[in-house]
Amino acid sequence: MTLATISPETLSRRTLLFVNAAHALDHYVLLIYPTAVIAIAAQTGLGYGALIGLATGAFVAFGLCSLPMGWLGDRLGRRTMLAAFFLGYGLACLGVATANGPTGFAVWLLVLGIASAIYHPVGSAMLVSHARRLGRDLGTNAVCGNLGSASAAGATAALAAGFGWRAAFVVPGLVCLALGAAFLALVPGDGERRDGRAGAAPTIPQRRPLALLAVFAVAVVAGGMTFNLTTISLPKVLDERLGIELPLVLMGALATLVFVFGALIQWLMGRLVDRLSLPTIFVGLAVLQPAGLALAAATQGLALLLGLLLTVAAIYGQVVVNDAMVARYVPARHRATAFGVRYCLGFTASGFVVPMIALMHDRGGFGLVLGAAALCGLAVWLAALAFYLLASDRRGESTVPAE
């Protein structure tokens, strides 16, 4: 099969299916170990703290390696790199399953993290190149990633309980390898769409691209901090401040419902991206972050829950908006690199959140944690407002698209 024997529409449809599957797997596989480690600790006799610390390399690589992976995507071809993601992820899963000691786990988890870094810069660039309706397809893709995250703990626990912890890595590893083989067989090339339709994500030219880049970078970094401060602490926040005594299972279910609400907001944002200007959506959505977090920091009970819902709506919706902004403001030939920078900044900055939560909780409880998150949310809104003003100042710009 060659590009000459497959229609552009069929190629785009197949590409989007594989990109969505890759997003779900990217988040699912990266979260296997935090659940499987409980069974590993029981079997090996190693302490939970020592074992969970071995995953540090994986999560650091997930952020730091996004930039070089995006650069490689622009130079080696995105199809080549997405195939490397499927095959590399599958082999890394099987490698972790063979580990028998701390060194083996640390090495294979690092390989897993490096492979995981391929998806976001490369997959996002492929998505916007083949999207038939940019906002709708970005929203669908974001929901796929959230479903992968949400299902990881339950599926891993079930596989580990039924077949042992190694099966929790072997099964998704084999799925990754099978999808990699199918991707290479069914998607013969990058097949960039250049038909000029809305789905092809034409670039919006700007007079001050460096200023836009600077404020967007601030929004990405502050948004990554807000995202992790909120999502990591959310279950414990509900436990301490909701004011209702609930069993752990129900508390976890409530936290899951909040995240599902966030996924629905991503779907809605995808629809709005196709109807409204991105700077308008960005500034309107971003204001919900400091407002929701300030409400949550100052209240308890149902008011706290309302504040958290507003916050989750804003931070999850911003993921879709940020990706759409890269698609609309960066020329196609540089998008994989741009996505690499975007995710490198966001994931790396948010990696400092866990020790921050521990420190602030010890000194001021979750009121201090949520207050700090509100300040980060305020920085996001100010950056969004600056982006809106800069993007609106288009006097004298060229009307010729940059692609």
What's the CATH number where 51 sits?
1.20.1250.20
Kindly state the tokens that stand for 169. Answer: 């890595």
- pLDDT at 27 (0 to 100): 87
| Nearest-angstrom CA–CA distance, 64 and 71 | 13
Give the distance between the most distant pair of CA atoms in the chain: 68
Strands (E), 37-81: none
Q: Inform me whether the pLDDT recorded for 205 exceeds 70.
A: no
Q: What CA–CA distances, in Å, run from 261 to 18, 258, 277, 312, 326?
A: 25, 5, 24, 8, 25
3-class state of residue 238 by DSSP: helix
Residue at which a domain ends, from 143, 169, 198: 198
Residues 192 and 214 both lie in one domain: no
Write the pLDDT tens digit of every residue in 221-232: 998 888 878 876
Q: How far apart are the first and last CA of the chain?
A: 28
Residues 186 and 224 both lie in one domain: no
Write the pLDDT tens digit of every residue in 356-370: 777 787 888 888 989
Question: Is there a domain that residue 397 lies in?
Answer: no
Question: Is there a domain that residue 398 lies in?
Answer: no
Residues 107 and 223 both lie in one domain: no
Q: Inform me whether the pLDDT recorded for 200 exceeds 60.
A: no
- pLDDT at 400 (0 to 100): 36
**Residue 270 and residue 145 in contact, taking contact as beta carbons nearer than 8 Å:** no
Residue at which a domain ends, from 164, 198, 232: 198
User: Which amino acid belongs to residue 9?
Assistant: E
Higher pLDDT, residue 348 or 300: 300
Write the pLDDT tens digit of every residue in 79-89: 999 999 999 99
Residues 222 and 153 both lie in one domain: no
Band of pLDDT at residue 181, cut at 50, 70 and 90: very high
Residue at which a domain ends, from 198, 224, 254: 198
Higher pLDDT, residue 32 or 5: 32
CA angle 376, 54, 368 (to 5 degrees): 25
Residues 370 and 308 both lie in one domain: yes
Residues 209 and 186 both lie in one domain: no
Q: Inform me whether the pLDDT recorded for 389 exceeds 50.
A: yes
Report pTM: 0.75
Residues 218 and 147 both lie in one domain: no
Q: Range of 254's domain?
A: 203-392
